[in-house]
Amino acid sequence: MSHLKYFLFLLFFLSVPITAQTKIINVDSKANCFLIPDSNVVSGLTPGLEYKVSVTANGTIFAPMQGVFFMYVDVNSQPNFNYTPIGSSFTFKPINGSYQIAPIYVDWSTNSDNSGSIKISISPNDKFNLNDVNTKLLLYLNESSGSTAFDSSGNGNNATATGTTIVSGIYGNARNFNGTSDYLLVNNSSSLNITNQITVEAWVYPTENKMINIFSKDGAYQFYIFSDGTFSIGVYSGYPWHQGVSKSVVPLNKWTHIAGTFDNVTKKIQLFKNGVLDNDTTDLNASLSSSTQPLYIARNGSASVYYMKGMMDEMRISNTVRTFSPLTSVLNSLSNKQYPKEIELRQNYPNPFNPTTTIQYELSKISTTEVKIYDSLGKLVRILNSGEQSAGQHSVVWDGKSNDGVTVSSGTYFYQVKAGEYIETKKMLLLK
């Protein structure tokens, strides 16, 4: 390892990570500076989301290498390096892991009169659902297991899941709902008792034409999709509910960002689809009332109806009227994504392995999927996954244990993926 890479390696793994979705770093230029000791490691970025990294200069920088080294971890958990000159930018998608990207300013000059600084901006491309002071609920739904969906707003509005399946979403993971009994519940809190201005928003992937409640807080506000595909925000001030309804529809089997806003002063109701204003109305009789009821997600509150059938991701409620801009790179990425004809099962890695190995596969459409392990005699050893999964890439890890938690012996094993009517099987070798 070269001298530079050695120092970068130490800095990357010893620095204190700073959790951030959007990060601005200003680094003062210094003479004869090989590595800035206070360089920041940025963590907490959403896996799979595209980030734009920009490097600009303020003031005068004297250096033959006017730019920034970036360090990040690739899919094999090995440190990689990228050099970005001042005035340039690049995009990247972080993977799972504590340390995501480390910007390190390098100055090999011999001048002592540097008066400027380098500004490093790391921000998501086309991502609406970020945290700020007006965010009262923010569910990224990136959990890999468990019944708790953690609130990233800082208000402690965690959601408890009844049913649901964790699947791959538009940004990292998402939740899939069965349309009959799955939902999320957030206990009542003062931060969700919003009475002045409100914005509700979510990425949705409905798979059936039916009445769906996205958010439901009885006696206050609701956000829902009608059976004809139009969507609406409704506020309560005594029956009937007052609502605005979209002009366009939410398509089936496709990710769509929808949002609704209401201003209790101007009485204006706005609806947005993929960042584009869809409808703008005023209802002078509408009013946003106080309520002590819990917040239901993916079903109506007290009535226990209007369950979501499909997936949801990146959900946010704010106590302000937000504005949006049209999505570009996210929608282009979704529309240009190429899926396999049916299913593509890849060779496990590592292979041979001990004690764990990763199995990767890709689905062409949302499917009921099973991943099973068999021994050389055809006996079922382990069920690694069983449930509905979205189209796209998936992976699962086998720890070399049976369904009973017993560590299996060395030998040849077979892993099988079944998606709908399609089945594919491959061989792997466990060596101890």
Q: What is the pTM of this model?
A: 0.56
Paired strand residues for 393:
362
Cβ atoms within 10 Å, residue 340:
15
- Cα 41–chain centre separation: 20
DSSP letters for 16-67: PEEE-SSEEEEEE--TT-SS-TTPPEEE-PPTT--EEEEEEEES----SS-E
At residue 216, φ and ψ (nearest 5 deg) are: -145, 110
Alpha-carbon span 278 to 284, nearest angstrom = 20
The helix (run of H) or strand (run of E) holding residue 345 is strand 343-345
**How high is the pLDDT of residue 142?**
80
Residue 344 β-bridge partners: 362
**Cβ 141 vs Cβ 313: under 8 Å:** yes
CB 29 within 8 A of CB 38: no
Confidence at residue 363, expressed as pLDDT on a 0 to 100 scale: 83
SS3 122: strand
Q: Which of 227, 203, 223 is nearest to 214 (CA)?
A: 223
Average pLDDT for runs of 10 along the chain of length 432: 42 38 55 44 61 67 59 57 69 57 53 58 63 87 87 91 88 87 96 95 93 94 95 87 93 90 96 92 91 95 88 94 72 47 80 90 83 86 88 87 92 87 83 84
Six token digits for residue 100: 């995501």
CB 66 within 8 A of CB 132: no
Report pLDDT for 432: 81
- Give the pLDDT of residue 162: 96
pLDDT value of position 43: 61
Domains and CATH numbers, the chain: 3-124 (2.60.120.380), 135-334 (2.60.120.200), 343-430 (2.60.40.4070)
